[in-house]
Structure 1
């Protein structure tokens, strides 16, 4: 099965897709399975369309008539909610992700030293497991891309140890943080540093996590989506990386889940700073069964945002989904990072 890259942008309920050549697919693979591209060359942007599903129709402009019939059939299934994640994939995911890592595998020696504090305590055991077992039925998820440093580091760890997975999904607005309603910008008091307000969510939200901060357009000095994708892809250097654009209230929808080939989560990296964005990411993953026993979740700002940031989102999601249970987790051989959890039960 092919796993050609599928960079996608979602904005205001519509999707801006990028494809090389026409997608050749059966009805099921268009709706849930692998995507096929007739050409691996650099894709060109398809014009943004209005409406929740109309973007799919752009795939078939100028293509054979049977492509259009396939799309219409997929849309009909999607509207009825008949397309869902295969149960067999969920079952297999649990067995791989929850496996005990081989004690003979040493610590991951990273080319990104900053990963030792937060990422490696969460993901090292996953990398070890997937260097020995088949994890190709599972995906990696990154919420919050910015300069793609985290995605690059995570992808590099998997490559270094020949650890396998299916796709690496990156979600970002490409416009910076959203307006949460409580994070309107306010300057720090004189002689205060960011370190002094860590753990105080209200102050962090106003001084650091205000609307528009961590804007990829500023980071890459361009407003051109495809140029940003080019820069991010070059940095990540992994053809399995895919990108979904949009504020999470617009992009994390039922349509997104049903129309793209998401698989159960192997590792989820949450680096979105705000309570609202963290909650939306977790809610979407939980709602559509992408969190399975053995899934590892790492929170970047667990400490920085204090009890009202990612910590509150984590707590609120567990209350909303009472069958979803998680436990603190640390990969063997690493110092404990409090923002790392393993899914232990989902039903």
Structure 2
């Protein structure tokens, strides 16, 4: 199981009652189909939205270095190829759990689309270049919440050697300091510099206030997915189910207030 796959499953551990999974850079649909298959098999309450122009990469930000393989028009792929993968999984067109949003991000990433996504659980950022990453971050920023997992596919590819910063990591380093109230921790980094991150706080809310697993519990699950993914993905025991139920009950205003009062004693 690779880091992308582990990060996706980790998001579903954090949100056992489902959430929206967003993929930026669908290309031929390999990672999109992986998520779709597991939503069908394991996580039926989750949804999946993919964003792609199908025309390849747009121009890079002026003055920002980019690798030759990320030139304008690279990674174009027919949307029909993705649809055929979904057909093979038995996913019918119109299934509300699965959606593809067409167009370059400058046109397609609108506030209306953001509002239609629903509560986030997972974001796969595979857009290669700085300009697209900036647009993705501006889009997801207002709808991030504690517990969301961010996966970066092209953070800083070891094949790329350039002075200064570029691409996805440069956009993140520029964007994050401007986001008051947003706190993020890196969970895992692999030798290719791909990485997963956890939103621990967002705009006045925390993992604890949302009755989500702690950072420690999330890190233990991430390690379990490395060591024994088959065991880590086994259906939860009744005990685990009761824990999840308790977390949900505590989100009720009256119950939450009582729990807080007892903790403060």
Q: 1:236 to 1:253 in 2, by over 3 A?
A: farther
Distance 1:230 1:318 in 2: 35
CA contact (8 A) 2:105 2:132 kept: yes
Secondary structure of residue in 1 paired with 2:198: strand
Q: Residue 339 of structure 1 corresponds to which residue in structure 2?
A: 195
Q: Residue 293 of structure 1 corresponds to which residue in structure 2?
A: 146
CA contact (8 A) 1:152 1:235 kept: no
Q: 1:231 to 1:336 in 2, by over 3 A?
A: closer
Structure 1 window deviating more from structure 2 (337-346 vs 242-251): it is 337-346
Secondary structure of residue in 1 paired with 2:10: helix
Distance 2:76 2:182 in 1: 33
Secondary structure of residue in 2 paired with 1:263: coil
TM-score w.r.t. the length of structure 1 is 0.50
Q: Residue 169 of structure 2 corresponds to which residue in structure 1?
A: 311
User: Cα distance, 1:313 vs. partner?
Assistant: 1.5
Structure 1 window deviating more from structure 2 (172-181 vs 300-309): it is 300-309
* RMSD over equivalenced CA pairs, Å: 2.9
The answer to whether the aligner puts 1:282 opposite 2:137 as a matched pair is yes
Distance 1:152 1:339 in 2: 20
Q: Residue 134 of structure 1 corresponds to which residue in structure 2?
A: 17
Query: Counterparts in 2 of 1:174-185, with a 5 A limit?
Result: 174-182=54-62
Of 65, 70, 76, 1:215 maps to 76
CA contact (8 A) 1:303 1:339 kept: no
Q: 1:149 to 1:228 in 2, by over 3 A?
A: closer
Answer with 1 or 2: which has the greater Rg.
1
Q: Residue 99 of structure 2 corresponds to which residue in structure 1?
A: 242
> What do residues 195-252 of structure 1 show as CA deviations (whole Å, max 9, x unaligned)?
xxxxxx8351xx10111111113xxxxxxx6x45633532565442101111111111
The answer to whether the aligner puts 1:202 opposite 2:54 as a matched pair is no
- Which has a greater percent of helix? 2
Gaps of 5+ in 1: 1-115, 184-200, 218-224
Q: Residue 113 of structure 2 corresponds to which residue in structure 1?
A: 256
Q: Residue 28 of structure 2 corresponds to which residue in structure 1?
A: 147
Secondary structure of residue in 2 paired with 1:202: coil
CA contact (8 A) 2:4 2:151 kept: yes
User: Cα distance, 1:325 vs. partner?
Assistant: 1.5
Q: 1:235 to 1:303 in 2, by over 3 A?
A: farther
Moved over 3 A (4+): 127-130, 157-160, 227-230, 235-239, 334-338
Distance 1:265 1:174 in 2: 24
Of 235, 248, 266, 2:121 maps to 266
Distance 2:45 2:175 in 1: 26
User: Cα distance, 1:158 vs. partner?
Assistant: 3.7
User: Cα distance, 1:337 vs. partner?
Assistant: 6.5
Q: 1:178 to 1:342 in 2, by over 3 A?
A: same
User: Cα distance, 1:338 vs. partner?
Assistant: 5.2
Structure 1 window deviating more from structure 2 (228-237 vs 138-147): it is 228-237
CA contact (8 A) 1:245 1:251 kept: yes
Q: 1:330 to 1:203 in 2, by over 3 A?
A: closer
Of 11, 32, 53, 1:173 maps to 53
> What do residues 264-308 of structure 1 show as CA deviations (whole Å, max 9, x unaligned)?
210110111011111211111113x2x100000000011316742
